[in-house]
């Protein structure tokens, strides 16, 4: 057990992270001002588990099931058909096609998502999502989503903060689906969450911001550096991701005259610790990491622990 990053094994990966952070936060020639110590993290598959499906999709499946029950005609079309039949392979295939550059099915999914939120006030949606996080269990781990986060990544967040870094989430997931939980789960406030977004409108009569009938943008691939710049106004010094869609963000952390650090979480764990191995959707990123410009973090070899210990029960929990 080591004082810094205790859930990381004593490997060259851990050494490189600690040496980099020490160098940029010290007073030597590689020192970087505190204001420029920006770290960006993908969410699904980087800060918490994304298998067997991203958490937001688990929430949406519940909403689609309720919609199909209210209107049985919906069950004749995807994505409702798969939800009603209990066959979610179409949904998984749509996400895999997206990683491969084919967004045809993803657009169908987005259309169905818009149908769930149009004209819904943003604070009402935030309350519904917070209720989901409070009550739902991860479908395979059978633990609350707060305990499906990666313990080594929580330690990395705290280590960076202790060395003057400001950490942001930059995810392809829905920004407003993440905001209700990021402060509690990761210690990252909602104003530092960058993600995909539905269109918004202001209803003056109700004095409320509501979701519109359009999708604003998907924060993935080349859109990630754009959103980082538009929201933060600085190039990150450190970037962490796990998929092909994170590759532009990982590259964006490197600039002429300043050495950045990019980490790629590789889900190669086959030790039965709850994080099943998979490479699909990360092939390009893994290939790009072969020259050493991106540090491959092996879940199997670099992490001694994957998930945190269960949170202690509170008075509000059922006996």
Among the residue ranges 67-71, 99-103, 148-152, the one predicted with the least confidence is 99-103
Among the residue ranges 82-86, 107-111, 312-316, the one predicted with the least confidence is 312-316
Residues 88 and 192 in one domain: no
* Contacts for 182 with CB less than 8 Å, ≥ 6 apart: 169, 188, 189, 190, 192, 193
Is residue 317 included in any domain, yes or no? no
Write the pLDDT tens digit of every residue in 31-56. 999 999 999 999 999 999 999 888 99
Q: Which helix (H) or strand (E) holds 57?
A: helix 55-70
Residues 124 and 153 in one domain: no
Burial label, 90 (beta-carbon count in 10 A; 0-12, 13-18, 19+): middle
Is residue 164 included in any domain, yes or no? yes
Residues 72 and 100 in one domain: yes
Is residue 4 included in any domain, yes or no? no
Write the pLDDT tens digit of every residue in 195-247. 999 999 999 999 999 999 999 999 999 999 999 999 999 999 999 999 999 99
Going by the DSSP 8-state scheme, the letter that residue 140 receives in this structure is T
Number of compact structural domains in the chain: 2
Residues 163 and 128 in one domain: no
Pick the last residue of a domain from 86, 108, 135: 135
Residues 153 and 270 in one domain: yes
Residue 1 pLDDT > 50 = no
**Distance, CA of 52 to CA of 100 (rounded, Å):** 18
- Residue 71: domain span: 55-135
Residues 163 and 75 in one domain: no
Residues 125 and 85 in one domain: yes
Q: Which helix (H) or strand (E) holds 203?
A: strand 193-203
Pick the last residue of a domain from 135, 161, 183: 135
Burial label, 88 (beta-carbon count in 10 A; 0-12, 13-18, 19+): middle
Residues 171 and 204 in one domain: yes
Q: Give the CATH number for residue 28.
A: 3.40.50.1000
Burial call 9-22: b when 16+ CB within 10 Å, e when fewer: beeebbeebbebbe
């Amino acid at each position: 057990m080591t004082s810094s990053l205790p859930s990381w094994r004593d490997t060259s990966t851990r050494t490189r992270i600690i040496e980099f952070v020490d160098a940029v936060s010290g007073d030597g020639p590689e020192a970087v001002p505190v204001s420029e110590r920006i770290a960006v993290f993908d969410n699904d598959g980087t800060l918490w588990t994304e298998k067997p499906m991203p958490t937001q999709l688990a929430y949406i499946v519940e909403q689609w099931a309720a919609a199909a029950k209210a209107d049985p005609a919906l069950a004749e079309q995807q994505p409702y058909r798969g939800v009603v039949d209990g066959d979610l392979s179409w949904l998984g295939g749509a996400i895999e096609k997206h990683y491969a550059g084919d967004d045809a099915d993803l657009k169908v999914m987005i259309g169905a998502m818009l149908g769930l939120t149009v004209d819904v006030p943003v604070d009402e949606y935030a309350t519904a999502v917070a209720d989901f996080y409070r009550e739902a269990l991860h479908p395979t781990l059978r633990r609350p989503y707060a305990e499906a986060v990666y313990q080594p990544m929580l330690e990395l967040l705290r280590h960076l903060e202790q060395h003057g870094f400001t950490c942001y989430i930059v995810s392809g997931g829905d920004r407003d689906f993440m905001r209700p939980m990021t402060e509690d789960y990761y210690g990252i406030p909602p104003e530092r969450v960058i993600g995909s977004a539905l269109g918004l409108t202001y209803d003056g009569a109700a004095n409320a911001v509501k979701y519109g009938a359009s999708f604003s943008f998907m924060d993935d691939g080349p859109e990630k550096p754009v959103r980082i710049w538009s929201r933060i106004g600085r190039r990150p010094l450190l970037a962490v991701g796990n998929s092909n869609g994170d590759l532009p963000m990982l590259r964006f952390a490197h600039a002429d005259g300043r050495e950045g650090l990019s980490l790629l979480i590789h889900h190669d764990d086959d030790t039965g610790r709850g994080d099943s191995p998979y490479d699909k959707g990360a092939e390009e990123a893994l290939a790009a990491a072969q020259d050493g410009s991106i540090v491959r973090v092996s879940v199997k070899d670099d992490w001694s622990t994957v998930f945190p210990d269960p949170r202690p029960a509170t008075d509000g929990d059922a006996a």
